[in-house]
Amino acid sequence: MLGKKLGIDLGTANSVIFVQGEGVVLTEPTVVAIDLDTRTVIAVGTKAKQMIGKTPENIVARRPLREGVIADSRITEALLRYFYDRALGKSRLIKPDVVISVPAGITSVEERAVHKAANAVGSRTVTLLPEPLLAALGAGLPIHTSSGNMIVNMGGGTSEVGVMSLDGIVEYESIRVGGDALNEYIISYMKKKKGILIGEQSAENIKIKIGSAVEVRDPKEMEVRGRDVGAGMPKSIMVDSNDIAKAIEFPLKRIISAIKTVLEKTPPELSADIIDRGMVMSGGTAKLRNLDKLFSRATGVPCHVADDPLLCVVKGTGIALELLATGERKFSFNKEFRR
């Protein structure tokens, strides 16, 4: 395990780890469970996620990242240490070189927090690269050419729209709306329209099983269990895909607005390329049914879902590790993003 290089997609909902020469080695929910009495970490990843909403008072299951950035540095360090140990083993003679994905709209304070956490757990060098660029690399877009390439990367906490050319980001928009926001709107809809209280994991399950970005003729149905708003007793109801389409209409409109903003700012020559090639969707939220149809209908631009959308960013970190090590290509950014 000497001189290993790591690529980390540090996401709000899920984190994925890439080891050079081995590929993707780990995919875990970005959740940490802590015993408040002893101030110790008792579970990380899948085990911790299973505890959300089910713990006694002395145990808290938390997500250390909110909206794509670090909300709790101490817990983030514990999370990264767990990932390093799982990916590289606990005995490491040489610290790894690391590429970590961050939102393109990250602030300098948020940037320093990521650097601090990565250095605290034993990194030799830490390179932060914006998610839209990494997602485009991982999706196989030819961003090294002079043609325009458009990516819409939608994770748990953020959605980022970027137009790339010549290994650089020409225009982008980063909004703090993603899969978590969709879950929150589903929870709110169930409470207001269906009279039932459900939790975050139930909302996520509904979204995955029957969720749709647009209303359809033959909607899927499923039984949802929760607590009755009025009586406070357990309650079970049936909901369908069209209910979910109505619930998440507003956050999806915000993502569409970001896409339109980027298209309006994109130079005409690159716009012509995007019309020909279309836009590519990546990230876990890209798996939402009929989302490509919604975006195409709203913008007039063809839309495609990348292969393995959840892994696009982490695959991009692997490609970036190779390119940065050989010096074959250098990545450039607009003045708003600092490496």
- 134 with 321: CB under 8 angstroms? no
pLDDT at 229: 93
Give the integer Cα–Cα distance in Å for 130 and 140. Answer: 16
pLDDT, position 36: 84
Interval 280-290: pLDDT, tens: 999 999 999 99
How many other CB atoms are found less than 10 A from the CB of residue 209? Answer: 12
- Please tell me whether 12 is known to bind a ligand: yes
158 is in an annotated binding site: yes
The pLDDT assigned to 331 comes to 66
Nearest Cα to Cα of residue 102 among 119, 122, 121, 126: 126
> How does pLDDT run across 222-260, given as a tens digit for each residue?
999 999 998 899 999 999 999 999 999 999 999 999 999
Phi and psi angles of residue 255, each rounded to the nearest 5 degrees, phi first: -65, -40
Residue among 323, 320, 312, 326 nearest 24 (CA): 312
The structure tokens listed for 135 are 């997602």
What domains does the chain contain, in order, with CATH numbers? 5-133+314-326 (3.30.420.40)
CB 170 within 8 A of CB 270: yes
Query: Which residues does the chain have with pLDDT short of 50?
Result: 1, 333-339
The answer to whether 78 is annotated as binding is: no
Give pLDDT, residue 226. Answer: 95
Are 234 and 227 in contact by the 8 Å Cβ rule? The answer is yes
Q: Sign of torsion, CA 186 191 195 200?
A: positive
pLDDT at 80: 87
Q: Is 14 annotated as a binding residue?
A: yes
Q: What phi-psi label fits residue 83: left (phi over 0), alpha (psi between -120 and 50 degrees) or beta?
A: alpha
Dihedral sign from CA coordinates of 248, 249, 251, 255: positive
Q: Which residues contact 286 (CB under 8 A, 6 or more apart)?
A: 152, 154, 305, 306, 309
Task: Determine if residue 207 is labeled as part of a ligand binding site.
Answer: yes
Contact 282, 312 (CB under 8 A): yes
Which two three-digit tokens encode residue 58? Answer: 């002395």
- Nearest CA-CA partner of 15 in 114, 150, 120: 114
pLDDT for position 337: 40
> pLDDT, tens digit, for every residue of 103-113?
887 888 888 88
pLDDT digits (tens, 9 = 90+) for 49-74: 888 878 888 888 888 877 667 777 78
**59 labeled part of a ligand binding site:** no
Does the annotation list 87 as a binding residue?
A: no
- pLDDT, position 12: 84
